[in-house]
C-alpha cells in the first residue's frame, strides 16, 4: 500500500513529490522547501541552528564549530512529528551541511515512537536523480507519472547533448560557495559537460572541496556562474562585491569578456526534476551562439558586468 502521510525534510524530495502529483500527501516540510509555491503553505517541521544572516565565511565557521562540538546544524520538531504521525519521512545522505542527515532523522523518529519509515536520498550523477524520482514514485504509487517525467527530462537532456557534441568545450567555473570557494560538485560538472563546457579542478560525481581563490584564477575560466548553495539571487548580490574585489579578479577571462552570471541555486543544488532547467540554462550561458537566450527567459539569471552590477539584459 502506498504511503499516505509524508514528511519531506529535503527540498529535492518536496519537488519530486509535487511533480509526481502527490503533494496532498505531504503533511510537513523543511524550512527550505519553497517550490512549488504550494509547498510554502505546508507545515514547517525543520529549522536551522545556523545564523544565516551572517556572511559566507561566518556561516562556514559556524558550521565547522558545530561539527567540532558535536552540535546539530538542524532542529527537528519532535513534538510536531509525534502529533503528525507520518508513515514516511524523506531525508538524505548526501551532505551533513546542506540538509538534515539520515542518522539524526532516524534517531528522532525512534525517540517519538513514530511508525514512520525513513527514506534517505542521495545523488552523485544525473542517473541517480532519475533513480531517486522512481524510488519515491514506487513508495507513493506513482510509477506511471515517474516514467512520464523521466522520459520527458531524458529527451531534453539528449537534445542538449546532441546539439553540443561537436561544439567547442568552454572552461566554466560554477561557484557554489563564496568564502571559502567551493566549485559545484556531484552532478553539476556533468551538467556543464552536457551543456558543452568543462569545469577545471572539480571532478564530476565527486563532492566539492574548498579551493583557494588563486586556483580559480590560474585555470582562467571563460565563464563564471555564481550560485551559492541555499542563496537566493538577492542574497548572492549582497556578497558579490566581495568576490569582485579579490586579487586578479579583472584578469579572469570570464570577467574581461563579461561572461559572469548569477543564478538561482535551486536549479542546480536540488537533484530533482528541475535540474533539467539548470542544464538548459547552462547551455544558453555556455553556448549562446547555439541556443541564444531561449533557456534563460523567465529564470531570473543575471548577466553581471565587471563592476559587480547587473546588466540591463538580465533574464
* Alpha carbons within 13 A on the beta-carbon side of 72: 15
Whether the pLDDT of residue 27 is over 50: the answer is yes
Helix, strand or coil for residue 237?
Answer: helix
Alpha-carbon gap, residue 111 to 194, rounded angstroms: 45
pTM higher than the cut 0.85: yes
- DSSP code string of 131-187: HHHHHHHHHHT-HHHHHHHHHHHHHHHHHHHHHHTTSPPEEEEEEEETTTEEE--TT
Distance CA 278, CA 192 (A): 10
Domains by residue range for the chain, with CATH: 6-146 (3.40.50.1980), 167-304 (3.40.50.1980)
Contact 195, 286 (CB under 8 A): yes
Q: Are 224 and 198 in contact (CB under 8 A)?
A: no
Q: What is the DSSP string of 26-48?
A: EEEE-TT---SGGGGGSPB-EEE
Instruction: Determine which helix (DSSP H) or strand (DSSP E) holds 125, and give its type and residue range.
Output: none
pLDDT digits (tens, 9 = 90+) for 285-314: 999 999 999 899 999 899 996 444 445 455
* pLDDT at residue 309, as a whole number: 46
Average pLDDT of the chain? 93
80: phi then psi, degrees, rounded to nearest 5: -65, -40
Q: Give the whole-angstrom CA distance, residue 286 versus residue 32.
A: 29
Predicted confidence at residue 307, as pLDDT, reads 45
Our CA dihedral for 102, 28, 45, 31, rounded to 10 degrees, sits at: 90
pLDDT in tens, 87-98: 999 999 998 888
Q: CB burial class (10 A; 0-12, 13-18, 19+) of residue 71?
A: exposed
pLDDT digits (tens, 9 = 90+) for 31-42: 999 999 999 999
Contact 190, 314 (CB under 8 A): no
- Asked if residues 88 and 6 have their Cβ atoms less than 8 Å apart, the reply is yes
pLDDT tens, position by position, 5-15: 999 999 999 99
Residue 252: HSE in the Cβ half-sphere, 13 Å Cα cutoff: 29
Q: Alpha helices, DSSP H only, in the chain? A: 11-19, 56-68, 78-84, 102-111, 126-140, 143-164, 188-194, 213-219, 233-244, 253-256, 275-286, 288-291
Does residue 83 carry a pLDDT above 90? yes
List, in order, residues 6 or more apart from 193 with CB less than 8 Å away: 199, 204
Q: Tens of pLDDT along 233-278?
A: 999 999 999 899 999 999 999 999 999 999 999 999 999 999 999 9
CA dihedral for 143, 145, 150, 151, sign (positive or negative): positive
Asked if the bond preceding 24 is cis, omega within 30° of 0, the reply is no
Amino acid at each position: 500500500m502506498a504511503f499516505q502521510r509524508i514528511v519531506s525534510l529535503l527540498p529535492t524530495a518536496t519537488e519530486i513529490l509535487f511533480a509526481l502529483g502527490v503533494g496532498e500527501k505531504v503533511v510537513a516540510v523543511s524550512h527550505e522547501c519553497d517550490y512549488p509555491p504550494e509547498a510554502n503553505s505546508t507545515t514547517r517541521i525543520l529549522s536551522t541552528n545556523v545564523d544565516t544572516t551572517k556572511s559566507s565565511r561566518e556561516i562556514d565557521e559556524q558550521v565547522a564549530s558545530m561539527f567540532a562540538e558535536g552540535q546539530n546544524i538542524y532542529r527537528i520538531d519532535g513534538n510536531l512529528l509525534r502529533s503528525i504521525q507520518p508513515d514516511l519521512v524523506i531525508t538524505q545522505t548526501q551532505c551533513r551541511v546542506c540538509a538534515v542527515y539520515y542518522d539524526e532523522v532516524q534517531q528522532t523518529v525512534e525517540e517519538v515512537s513514530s511508525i514512520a519509515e525513513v527514506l534517505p536520498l542521495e545523488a552523485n550523477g544525473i542517473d541517480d536523480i532519475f533513480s531517486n524520482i522512481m524510488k519515491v514514485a514506487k513508495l507513493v504509487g506513482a510509477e506511471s507519472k515517474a516514467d512520464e517525467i523521466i522520459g520527458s527530462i531524458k529527451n531534453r537532456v539528449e537534445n542538449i547533448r546532441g546539439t553540443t557534441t561537436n561544439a567547442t568545450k568552454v572552461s566554466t567555473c560554477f561557484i557554489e560557495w563564496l568564502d571559502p570557494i567551493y566549485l559545484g560538485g556531484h552532478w553539476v560538472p556533468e551538467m556543464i559537460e552536457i551543456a558543452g563546457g568543462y569545469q577545471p579542478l572539480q571532478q564530476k560525481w565527486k563532492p566539492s572541496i574548498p579551493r583557494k581563490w588563486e586556483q580559480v584564477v590560474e585555470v582562467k575560466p571563460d565563464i563564471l556562474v555564481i550560485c551559492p548553495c541555499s542563496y537566493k539571487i538577492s542574497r548572492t548580490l549582497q556578497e558579490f562585491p566581495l568576490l569582485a574585489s579579490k586579487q586578479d579578479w579583472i584578469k579572469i577571462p570570464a570577467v574581461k569578456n563579461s561572461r559572469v552570471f548569477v543564478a538561482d541555486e535551486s536549479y542546480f543544488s536540488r537533484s530533482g526534476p528541475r535540474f533539467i532547467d539548470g542544464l538548459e540554462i547552462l547551455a544558453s550561458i555556455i553556448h549562446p551562439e547555439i541556443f541564444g537566450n531561449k533557456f534563460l527567459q523567465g529564470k531570473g539569471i543575471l548577466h553581471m558586468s565587471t563592476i559587480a552590477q547587473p546588466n540591463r539584459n538580465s533574464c
